[in-house]
Chain A
Amino acid sequence: MRTTPVAELDGLTVSYRSGAGRVTVAQDIGFSLYAGRTLGLVGESGSGKSTVARTLLGHLRDGSRIDAGQVTVRGEDVFALSGSALRQLRGGVVAVVAQNAGQALTPSLRVGAQIREALRVHGLPADDDRVTELLRLVRLPAPETIGRRYPHELSGGQQQRVAIAMAVATEPTVLVLDEPTTALDVITQAAVLALVNDLREELGMAVLIVSHDLGVVSVVADDVLVLQSGRAVEHGPTPKVLGDPREDYTRELLDAAPRIEGVPAPEVREAHQELTLECQDLDVRYPRAPRLAVSDFNLQVRRGETVAVVGESGSGKSTVATALAGLAPVERGRAVLRTGDDDLHDLLAPARARPAAVRSAVQMIFQNADLALNPRRSIADAIARPLKVFGRVSGRAETRSTVLRLLDEVGLGPEFADRVPAQLSGGQRQRVGIARALAAEPTLLIADEITTALDVSVQASVLDLLAELRDRRALSCLFISHDLAVVRNVADRIVVMKDGRTVETAATAAIFDTPRHPYTRSLLDAVVEPGSTHLPSSDADARVVRLDPAASLVEASEGHWVRDDEGAVTT
């Protein structure tokens, strides 16, 4: 190619010790990085993409070793370097930005001190001016003073910017980004990606970006390498690999990725007329908090209908879910659940004070399936619990057969019944979470960010499962998510929230075709998907859409409500 590569992997094979044998995590991987260009490393969890990326810094997890091949950076074999030469390489020549900046920054040190340290260990001038300059480079607000803060005093996006500032402080030759935006909401994600693009041009770095998200790779990478179980599947220029994939696996990944552009709007389903859930003017406040977490929340869910609540972190969307489940106190308002023709139940009581019928009628599926399942109990036990608590079954044989039927319903075989959660993959655990919720025979299912922790292909299959169950059982579903692309295929209606208030609510197609609120528009702009190449500017998350406290929801067209803040289209 044009110039000589700054870093190369050649026939790299890495394995780690597992019991008596060795498991290969990366097999015969090779690629080159060039100054000013970005390579995207794509794969699902367990594909070995992070392991491969970190070998550029001469880093292997404990128990891992290089079986074959080599890693060269600027002509030197990384794994042959001495201790001090390796330290010079790390941070100086090759720098890394880790997935979760909240965990990657040392909690007891001020962020400025951590950036200064990166400069100092590489013998670079580390005065306050340089630190301020770096903070300004990553477009943090108030760069003169923000360095005096501790990591926990910054938002997730700001933490990630600090981590990037720390990595680029030494103007490294190669920048490795290991899932840099997975923990961020869409708007912040888009801004961070744009920042990475800008910095690559300004500093002329070679960038390696690791991601499971084809959309992310699509907007920043020049070339893509697709990994599956430690093997390279496809490697080539981004438009070619994502536009005209040659391998089936790449095609599967592309098909599974949630999209907004270029796909037909979801068909309008015939909804039942009777309401399952009706909320009026709900205010929710966490104990002793000065501000309301959710205010004036209105919602109607019909039988068999899925309503998605969308917003960034801190928008109050999960608070709505926990309040309706009876896990957060409601300060004011009215919430009614209808389970039969004349069975109306008040949903404002805390869970422990609700009658059993209401408790079983409202079931929740949690974001993190491995934390929501008791690690010591078998899958059958976990599912049998609601069956017993709500008296759905009697006798051991009936319990067992019901558990197996529920497992079958969520697409898991009977062999899973006696396993423990640790023996299951993330997607399988989430299916168990769904089966457990179904065991109570709910009327209303609350799904709180249930696909966030899953790979795209798994995410797609869980969403399909949920849609199928909803149709078969005429379930009403409240689907909480931060990702508009995800909800497009499951939701009949969408509620967009910001700062605890509803800013827009309409049928799914209407939200995507004619977004009326500026915040909804910025959410839609920030979605990156395979094939998209544009990004909003890199300080987009600093330009906050402000809500006017005096504004109220108005009906702009039939069934399409929008808050009449500045910039909202109300006619």
Chain B
Amino acid sequence: MVRLIGIRLGTGLITLFLAAFFVFFAVQALPGDVAEQLLGQNATPEAVETLREQLGLDSNVWARFVEWLGNAVTGDFGDSLVTGEPVSSTIWASFARTLLIAIPAMVVGIALALLLGVWAAARRGSRTDSTVSVLALVAMSIPEFVVATVLVLLLAILVPVFPATVLSGPDASLGELLPAAVLPALTLVISMTAYILRAMRSSTIDGLATEYATTAALKGVPRRAVLWRHVAPTAVLPVLPVISINVAWLLGGVVVVESVFNYPGLGKLMIDSVSTRDLPVLQAIAVLSALVYVTANLVADLLALAADPRQRTLHQPRGRRRTAEVVR
């Protein structure tokens, strides 16, 4: 099992390296370089050349990749071309603000989705089931920015409980951010819950039809215990990948939602950096997103190992045979 976790970790690291590699060279392949960006269209070729030398852009591209990667591993992504501040501190500040909406959305969304999914499956075919399913379908088919707009209309304009946008941008204090984080988080909960809920519902329905669920019921186990003890742990397995993709999507900064609410998170930072062509920041955001996706998938794999004892031995050839011999 330790070997299994080791392999997963190793593939995660390789994925990260490849992501960094492609990000770096994709940026290199863009027409024009940082020096031209900085000096604008009217710069003299001599000035561009001088700046290139200053920035080290005239050295070998592989050498620069190794240097960039080496610095990136220690968390140093260079300085922003626009503000001149270190990229990492800018990104961490934005990421922290994204976490402020992503983590509550994640906790509430996943819990709600799993509960509702199992609940709807247990009442399959009833009115509650069809209501839940239809609502989930509606939530899936409406784009986030519409959900966000409707929420603003209801909870910021008709009944003004929460602020509709963050006015002071990245300089906003925590006290200012907290109430402003509610509506974005709510939007995210609504759009992510639907996917997980539907996956959990169909998976639980399959689980209830298994022989072990029937056996447990015929053993005299109350229905609630059959559902939560016997069916749910196995039923959650095929849902884990759905959850991990949604979590990664949340943590990567949700561009649309953050833009609607003018929320100074990672997604907003990305949009701003694209418009100002702040390449070091963009590179760092791309690597951070890759890191988030890899981590989310790794966590999902480990959770699957925890929930399903079969997977722990599945990858050892002849594992079962060996244990059978020990028993004898």
Per the 8 Å Cβ criterion, residues 313-328 of B in contact with A are: 313, 317-318, 320-321, 323-324, 327-328
Q: Which residue of B lies closest to A62 (CB)?
A: B209
- Cα of A166 to Cα of B225 in the assembled complex, Å: 17
B229 within 8 A of A: yes
Say yes or no: B310 contacts A103, CB within 8 Å. Answer: no
B220 within 8 A of A: yes
- Cα of A104 to Cα of B324 in the assembled complex, Å: 19
- Cα of A449 to Cα of B99 in the assembled complex, Å: 58
B221 within 8 A of A: yes
User: B200-240 vs A: 1/0 string, CB under 8 Å?
Assistant: 00000000001110111111111001000110011000000
Residues of A near B214 (CB, < 8 A) are 59, 98, 104
Q: Which residue of A lies closest to B220 (CB)?
A: A91
Q: How many Å from the CB of B215 to the closest CB on chain A?
A: 4
- Cα of A124 to Cα of B221 in the assembled complex, Å: 13
Residues of A near B317 (CB, < 8 A) are 286-290
Say yes or no: A121 contacts B219, CB within 8 Å. Answer: yes
Say yes or no: A92 contacts B320, CB within 8 Å. Answer: no
Q: Which residue of B lies closest to A58 (CB)?
A: B218
Q: Out of B215, B222, B308, B313, name the residue touching A96 (CB < 8 Å).
A: B215
- Cα of A289 to Cα of B318 in the assembled complex, Å: 6
- Cα of A155 to Cα of B230 in the assembled complex, Å: 21
A405 within 8 A of B: no
Q: Which residue of A lies closest to B307 (CB)?
A: A108
Q: Out of A89, A103, A109, name the residue touching B230 (CB < 8 Å).
A: A109
Say yes or no: A98 contacts B211, CB within 8 Å. Answer: yes
B6 within 8 A of A: no
Q: How many Å from the CB of B58 to the closest CB on chain A?
A: 50
- Cα of A167 to Cα of B210 in the assembled complex, Å: 18
Residues of B near A4 (CB, < 8 A) are none
Residues of A near B313 (CB, < 8 A) are 152-153
A150 within 8 A of B: yes
Say yes or no: B309 contacts A103, CB within 8 Å. Answer: no
Q: Out of A90, A103, A108, A152, name the residue touching B320 (CB < 8 Å).
A: A152
User: Majority SS of interface residues in chain A?
Assistant: loop
Q: Which residue of B lies closest to A120 (CB)?
A: B221
- Cα of A376 to Cα of B219 in the assembled complex, Å: 38
Q: Which residue of B lies closest to A293 (CB)?
A: B318
Say yes or no: A92 contacts B220, CB within 8 Å. Answer: yes
A527 within 8 A of B: no
Residues of A near B221 (CB, < 8 A) are 87, 91, 117-118, 121
Say yes or no: B328 contacts A544, CB within 8 Å. Answer: yes
Q: How many Å from the CB of B53 to the closest CB on chain A?
A: 55
- Cα of A92 to Cα of B222 in the assembled complex, Å: 13
A428 within 8 A of B: no
Residues of B near A154 (CB, < 8 A) are 324, 327
User: A274-288 vs B: 1/0 string, CB under 8 Å?
Assistant: 000000000000111
- Cα of A118 to Cα of B216 in the assembled complex, Å: 8
Residues of A near B310 (CB, < 8 A) are 107, 150, 152
Say yes or no: A59 contacts B212, CB within 8 Å. Answer: no
Residues of A near B220 (CB, < 8 A) are 87-92, 118, 121-122
- Cα of A271 to Cα of B212 in the assembled complex, Å: 50
Say yes or no: B309 contacts A108, CB within 8 Å. Answer: yes
Q: How many Å from the CB of A80 to the closest CB on chain B?
A: 18
A542 within 8 A of B: yes
Residues of B near A286 (CB, < 8 A) are 317-318
Say yes or no: B211 contacts A103, CB within 8 Å. Answer: yes
Say yes or no: B327 contacts A158, CB within 8 Å. Answer: yes
Residues of B near A89 (CB, < 8 A) are 220
A146 within 8 A of B: yes
A533 within 8 A of B: no
Q: Which residue of A lies closest to B222 (CB)?
A: A87
Q: List 28 A-B contacts (CB under 8 A).
A: A54-B218, A57-B218, A59-B214, A87-B222, A88-B220, A91-B219, A91-B221, A98-B214, A98-B215, A100-B211, A103-B210, A103-B212, A104-B212, A107-B308, A107-B309, A107-B310, A108-B307, A117-B229, A118-B219, A118-B221, A121-B221, A142-B327, A150-B309, A152-B310, A152-B313, A152-B320, A153-B323, A158-B327
Query: What 16 new A-B contacts, CB under 8 Å, besides A90-B218, A109-B230?
Result: A87-B221, A91-B220, A95-B218, A96-B218, A100-B211, A104-B214, A106-B230, A107-B234, A108-B233, A108-B307, A117-B216, A118-B221, A121-B221, A149-B323, A150-B309, A158-B324
